[in-house]
Amino acid sequence: MPSRAEDLPRLPASFGVIGLGRMAQALLQPLLEDGQLLPSAVVASVATEASAERLRASLGVTVGLDARPCLAAPLLLLALKPQQLDGLLQSLNPLPPPPSPPPGLTRPLLVSVLAGVGLQRLQGAFPGWDVVRCVPNAPALVRRGLIGVSDTGSLDPAARRLAHALLSPVGRVLDLPEAQLDAFLALTSSGPAFMAVVIEALADGGVAAGLPRTQAIELARAMAAGSLELMEQRQLHPAELKDMVASPGGTTMAGLRRLEAAGIRSALIEAVLAAYERSRALA
């Protein structure tokens, strides 16, 4: 279940970020805007000096090319690309000793957003740290994300609450067994791309029927947003919305028949399963 804001602890006074890319910025920005973190509390690392200079100017945080200073913070966000992990560990060899834990915790906490990198590998790579693995999705960029979180099962509840405090400003945080993270990723992280293709195709249909392309894209996007809001507010099953719109012998039923004949349900199911299988293969 997601944590309520009043149940969450305060973030520590020092916060490290290894890999301050788009997703890490999405997680960090609300914390800075809401005053939960001061820019002076953040120490981050990136791959190039150009990125470091840009982020220093835009966020006001300390950014360098060396990841070692980030490991002095008791709360660490690991957000580089998964294929960069081995190079990071080589550059950090020997790994600095873990810092003192945040108040109320027994060990420092590492939160990883590395796709396909499991808890066992992370725990082995960062001994002395508690480790949480999370899978955010693109709507986190506008604070409407879904974030799946897994730990080893022996994590201190206070550490789990601290991870929720870090992640909850950008969306809904759900505790999941690690075995379900690949399925969660396939549905929620890959899903926005699948939805985008559906919306783009509907807009193309509008163009084929005579609408100007710019207007068709705008209408398709607004229709999708409104439909999702209707399902959310009235807690509708998707089939209920479909039945609300599809009157007997009408235009919608004619379109639905074509969709079924084209196998759209099977195509979308297979898309999610393909993403799931790819995620498992990468792991």
Domain boundaries, the chain: 5-177, 189-282
Do the bridges between strand 109-112 and strand 171-175 make them parallel or antiparallel, or are there none, so unpaired?
Answer: unpaired
In this prediction, residues 199-221 reach a mean pLDDT of 98
Residue 38 CB partners (closer than 8 Å, separation 6+): 32
- Read off the pLDDT of each residue in 158-184 and give the average, rounded to a whole number: 94
For range 236-263, the mean pLDDT: 96
| 3: pLDDT strictly greater than 60 | no
Q: What does pLDDT average to over the chain? A: 93
Q: How far apart are CA 283 and CA 261, in angstroms?
A: 36
Tokens of 112: 């990883």
Amino acid 116: pLDDT: 85
Of the chain, the percentage scoring pLDDT greater than 70 comes to 97
Residue 4 reports pLDDT greater than 70: no
pTM of structure: 0.88
List helix spans (H) across 35-156: 49-59, 85-91, 119-125
Can you give the pLDDT at residue 103? 87
Q: How far is CA 197 from CA 78, 200, 220, in A?
A: 30, 5, 11
Sheet-wide strand order for 109-112 = 62-64, 42-45, 15-18, 75-78, 109-112, 130-135, 145-150, 171-175
Determine the average pLDDT of the residues in 102-106. 90
Please tell me the predicted confidence (pLDDT) of residue 282: 78
Q: Of the ranges 212-216, 248-252, 277-281, which one carries the lowest mean pLDDT score? A: 277-281
Residue 251 CA, chain-centre distance (Å), reads: 38
Q: How far apart are CA 204 and CA 40, in angstroms?
A: 48
pLDDT (0 to 100) of residue 158: 92
Encoded tokens for 75? 């709360």
Return the CATH fold of 5-177.
Answer: Rossmann fold (3.40.50)
Look at residue 8 in the predicted model and tell me its pLDDT: 67
Give per-residue pLDDT as tens, 110-151: 999 998 899 999 999 999 999 999 999 999 999 999 999 999
CA–CA dist 201, 271 (Å, integer): 16
CATH 1.10.3730.10 given to domain 189-282: yes
Do domains 5-177 and 189-282 share one topology? The answer is no
